[in-house]
Amino acid sequence: MSALASRVARLFVEHAAGEPVPAASPRREPWVAAVLAPSEHCDAAAAGVALALARAHGAPCAIAAVAGRCGGWGMGAPTAPATRCAAARAGAHAIGGSASGRLVRLDAPLGAEDPSGLAAAASALLGRAVAASGVPGALAVPFARDAGLDRVLGWHHAIVVVHHGRILDALVQPVLESVAALGRPVARMEPPARVPATAAMLGLRMPADAARAVAELGA
């Protein structure tokens, strides 16, 4: 990597010189959020919410996964030292994935045949990774809800519902209310545009919509 590229990368993945890198508080359990999203927005939504949770928790990095998807995150960016450490801690527990920027991108299990089983396996894996690393995480779920999937959603600290702004509130509000009935904080989020989505998937920067959603959750 050239010196210029290295300096540009540090603007995204490291703090300014002399500024301490925040660590996750040992007094606070890192959150694991579920993100209900259309399949075409799952990667960016999970990455964005994970990065926003990291900022809210004062953690140096975060973990993201997509239920039913192993690999396929695409290219990576220069990795922050804290992210390499988190990935190594997850790897020590036989949890596979890749590190990019401030994001550890997990490979979700594929053994189950039904959507709720895939979501449950991915959620369990993400929970183990979060426990091992001490940083928050987000799991994108691209499946239609049923009783089994709702049970899995209820395992998480909070739930984000991704939808396009052009969808009428009259259609979105009943969905939000039914998700809120699971007993977890719920927030809505629009899918990020292409450039913010790419930055999020590379672990470089959280989309503004993800930051607003996590603030609404009270994380």
Q: Which residue has the tokens 């509130």?
A: 169
H helix or E strand, kind and range, residue 101: none
Q: Locate tokens 């990774």: which residue?
A: 129
What is the value of pTM for the model shown?
0.85
Task: Please report which confidence band the pLDDT of residue 169 belongs to, taking 50, 70 and 90 as the band edges.
Answer: low
Residue 18 CB neighbour total at 10 angstroms: 5
Cα–Cα dist 36/144, whole Å = 9
Question: What whole-number distance in Å separates Cα of residue 86 and Cα of residue 10?
Answer: 18
Find where tokens 């999203």 sit.
37
| Interatomic CA distance for residues 106 and 174, integer angstroms | 32
pLDDT tens column, 201-218: 999 999 999 999 999 998
Identify the three-state secondary structure at position 62: strand
- The mean pLDDT value for 66-75 works out to 85
What lies within 8 Å, CB to CB, of 72 at 6+ separation is none
pLDDT reported for residue 112: 78
pLDDT for the residue 74: 78
Instruction: Give CA–CA dist 28/56, Å, rounded.
Output: 12
pLDDT for res 168? 59
| Cα separation values, 199 from 63, 71, 193, 196, Å | 15, 18, 10, 5
Which of helix, strand or coil describes residue 74?
coil
Cα 157 to Cα 75, 94, 153, 197: the distances in Å are: 30, 24, 9, 23
Per-residue pLDDT of 40-50, as tens digits, reads 999 999 999 99
More confident position, 168 or 83: 83
Q: Which CATH number fits domain 29-217: 3.90.1200, 3.40.50, 3.30.1490, 3.30.420?
A: 3.40.50
Cβ atoms of 149 and 36 within 8 Å: the answer is: no
* % pLDDT > 90, the chain: 72
- Phi, psi (deg, nearest 5) at residue 134: 80, 15
Distance, in Å, from the CA atom of 146 to the CA atom of 216, rounded to the nearest integer, reads 25
